[in-house]
């Protein structure tokens, strides 16, 4: 079974990889995103 995720943003730092006690590889990473929205006629970020 496979899951698909699309993440859009800027990578904040290098990904960190490690292994669980069962031998599964896990990656941890952080992303930053900009969200633009409107309040009335004003655009905010």
CA dist 23 to 3, 14, 26, 29, 45, Å?
A: 20, 22, 9, 19, 42
Give the pLDDT of residue 37: 86
Q: What is the mean pLDDT of the chain?
A: 91
Give the pLDDT of residue 1: 80
Say how far apart CA 29 and CA 15 lie, in whole Å. 5
Say how far apart CA 40 and CA 42 lie, in whole Å. 6
DSSP SS3 for 13: coil
Using alpha carbons only, how large is the chain's radius of gyration in Å?
17
34 pLDDT tier (thresholds 50, 70, 90): confident
Confidence check: pLDDT of 18 > 90: yes
């Amino acid at each position: 079974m496979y899951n698909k995720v699309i993440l859009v943003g800027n990578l904040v730092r290098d990904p960190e990889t490690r292994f669980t006690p069962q031998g599964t590889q896990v990656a941890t990473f952080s992303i930053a995103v900009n969200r633009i929205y409107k309040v009335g006629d004003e655009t905010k970020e």
